[in-house]
Structure 1
């Protein structure tokens, strides 16, 4: 709030719950008749265990040309770039090409119920006239066969945090019990955790891997898992994201059963983090129900949609041009995010979202691996690069 008020803007603060505050301000554009653009980031971060880190994860320490701290890549880097660009534009008396709605949301790491989703449901007028949005997680560079390549996010997988619940016959731990809820649950979790989902290339992933094939000379064959694996591996550290987008994923994450070693409980439950490919959600959920089996029911903890939009159009052209103006000769390719963003909430208003937090990164930096990881950090010169790219984008899009 203060950073925006200091330059004469009048942002609005929305606190949907204690400690869950979002900030929104609208910048008038040169052409107010054009549809508005939403430029957004989330303010929350995931927890961090200080003893696991080289530095204090919440100190924001600058060391060896890097800014260290929880949220450095997810996504205080983008928040900082947005603030820097907006403050400079306003101070210099410049306007973006069209109206830009700048939004800093709460709660994204918990699904956005008290952040982007809350504002979309309760304050939709804030986004009136907006048709497109830009946020995380895309626009960062990777090296493909020695060629710097920027991954622009045009899709993200669907989200399903699911509760698996097994019911059985409670009883004494010494007795024979063939209707044991823990056994039913364990068998279901083992099947789901071990299931090898088949490879399916959605349009965005197909376009990305064809682009990688062009850059490397590797063979593209959508029906050959080994060829797909080779193309994914060519993306270096980014394969952590991309490798999870050639198929559904389902990872058991929590277990809960019983209250005493010699008591067979009547109920056992588990949580599973499922990410589903765009357009294939129903098929994925049907398979999960089969894997869970007859003794286990599935209930949603939190679910949200997948997104996939074309790698084309005026905004995409402007993003590509903004990157290549600052890094001539670079390649820009579309990709699918294995996680999710607040663009899911904005899509409920018909707003098309892209991931574009531009960063020119050293090829040896495991950027993808630092999302929710230890020793999260981002190069300071990458932040300066991103500010230049975002400034150009706001002037031209």
Structure 2
């Protein structure tokens, strides 16, 4: 057996904030994993400058080198989008009764410009206890763990009862050309058919100094909608200005959107998360979380919790301006102004209720509010299945002692939305850790703690084996 639990437990001491003179030296198998992780990060898969197809082909070669048969590996792409390919790998199970499980991951990343970063975004850099590079947190760490899990199982002689499927797709981050998970769901649902899926979305929270505060399994997520605000005006020469100005109207509208705060809306998952994690924190913020879960009408608790941007986003629907375009010449009054408002909508609210709230907040009939962009299906929250939650909690107690594992609703949308219509409940796997600043996810100098990566790798390997042995 490759994994050494004692080694993982030693690493966990560092994660828990215990004093150590030095980090443990990586094991031989961890160095091999590090090389896999490096290859994923250093292969640019951004929509602006990269190719998912190139990375999918590299991953296929790794599986072939590990002894997987050609029939187990399916490379796919839409011929209209040659750079957006992906792959599916299948490990047959031994039981006719056990239904398949699916490991899902997107291999594309958010665009990154070298001039904005301190470090090269497409170089895998280990520095100060962190791995840096675009995709280290979202989500090439988990991609690498899923790939490594299947290769380790083969090396360890694991014979799963369930068939295990791994689908690595492109287009989750932008969908500008295509979305691979959507393509599989529409064109090759047989490749991904499963009793359940594990995806991104679960996470652990740290105090920013290495101490793990919580671990969560994603149970549901927000839906994603964009709205375009537009103002128009006849325009004219800038030497004869008037108060009726499309840019000023848009600026006023955006100020009102900025001030809009949707009401707190708990569901069973988020209420439990705030109650359990709040009690475990043992600080002022934790007390406010627990109080708000007990009494959502407590305005003081709401104000305290809402000051944390991550917790605020879990409490309510959020809408934020992300793009702005206005005017047509520097010496002319603007004839048009446009703004994109990105909304993340909690279960129980929808596109119509969110648009109505925007219209009401803006309060100006001259500002049009129109839904725009790609529309994902509404996410279907998976059930709190004890066969999923039980093993995750048991193993989390071993790898993260004293840290609660709780169900949580994530504030973003994932490719789980395309599996819901196929009847595949999808869970966000725990293990990944985030500091209070979010680790640069979708931003600059994205990073992930070195030791947290190695511990999560072992935790998820053991978890996948437990699920694979179920009938």
How far, CA to CA, are the matches of 1:393 and 1:261 in structure 2?
60
Residue 343 to residue 280, structure 1, CA distance change in 2 (3 Å): same
Query: How large is the RMSD of aligned CA atoms in angstroms?
Result: 2.5
What is the match of residue 222 of structure 1? 296
What is the match of residue 11 of structure 1? 73
TM-score (norm 2): 0.75
Q: Report the alpha carbon displacement of residue 275 of structure 1 after superposing the two structures with TM.
A: 0.8
What is the match of residue 23 of structure 2? none
Give the match's secondary structure for 1:110. Answer: coil
Q: Does 1:158 align with 2:217?
A: no
Q: Report the alpha carbon displacement of residue 391 of structure 1 after superposing the two structures with TM.
A: 1.6
Give the match's secondary structure for 1:273. Answer: strand
What is the match of residue 404 of structure 2? 331
Give the match's secondary structure for 2:419. Answer: helix
Q: Does 1:89 align with 2:162?
A: no
Q: Does 1:316 align with 2:385?
A: no
Paired residue for 2:372, among 279, 289, 300?
A: 300
Question: How many equivalent pairs are there?
Answer: 387
Residues 96 and 394, structure 1, Cα contact 8 Å, conserved in 2: no
How far, CA to CA, are the matches of 2:61 and 2:442 in structure 1?
28
Residues 219 and 384, structure 2, Cα contact 8 Å, conserved in 1: yes
Q: Does 1:288 align with 2:358?
A: yes
Residues 150 and 332, structure 1, Cα contact 8 Å, conserved in 2: yes
Cα deviation, 1:224-267, whole Å, max 9, x if unaligned, reads 1322454577xxxxx54332121111111111122112323433
Residue 91 to residue 294, structure 1, CA distance change in 2 (3 Å): same
Give the match's secondary structure for 1:162. Answer: strand
Give the match's secondary structure for 1:375. Answer: coil
What is the match of residue 189 of structure 1? 254
How far, CA to CA, are the matches of 1:225 and 1:370 in structure 2?
31
The structure that is helix-richer by fraction is 2
TM-score (norm 1): 0.88
How far, CA to CA, are the matches of 2:418 and 2:323 in structure 1?
26
How far, CA to CA, are the matches of 1:295 and 1:223 in structure 2?
35
Cα deviation, 1:169-223, whole Å, max 9, x if unaligned, reads 2333344656543343333222212212222223222111111343237251221
Paired residue for 1:211, among 276, 286, 295?
A: 276
1:19-38 matches, within 5 Å, as: 19-38=83-102
The structure that is strand-richer by fraction is 1
Structure 1 unaligned regions, length at least 5:
234-238
Q: Report the alpha carbon displacement of residue 387 of structure 1 after superposing the two structures with TM.
A: 1.8
Q: Report the alpha carbon displacement of residue 67 of structure 1 after superposing the two structures with TM.
A: 1.6
Q: Report the alpha carbon displacement of residue 33 of structure 1 after superposing the two structures with TM.
A: 2.3
Q: Does 1:124 align with 2:189?
A: yes
How far, CA to CA, are the matches of 1:343 and 1:367 in structure 2?
25
How far, CA to CA, are the matches of 1:62 and 1:133 in structure 2?
31
What is the match of residue 261 of structure 1? 330
Cα deviation, 1:132-183, whole Å, max 9, x if unaligned, reads 1111121424359x77421221121110122222233233334465654334
Give the match's secondary structure for 2:323. Answer: strand
Cα deviation, 1:64-114, whole Å, max 9, x if unaligned, reads 432211111111110111111111111222133412210111011114843
How far, CA to CA, are the matches of 1:116 and 1:88 in structure 2?
25
Q: Determine which structure has greater relative contact order: mean sequence separation of CA pairs < 8 Å that are 6+ residues apart, divided by chain length.
A: 1
How far, CA to CA, are the matches of 1:198 and 1:90 in structure 2?
50
Out of 61-70 and 217-226, give the one that drifted further. 217-226
How far, CA to CA, are the matches of 1:319 and 1:202 in structure 2?
22
Residues 48 and 57, structure 1, Cα contact 8 Å, conserved in 2: yes
Residues 169 and 179, structure 1, Cα contact 8 Å, conserved in 2: no
Residue 133 to residue 263, structure 1, CA distance change in 2 (3 Å): same
How far, CA to CA, are the matches of 1:383 and 1:97 in structure 2?
27
Out of 146-155 and 65-74, give the one that drifted further. 146-155
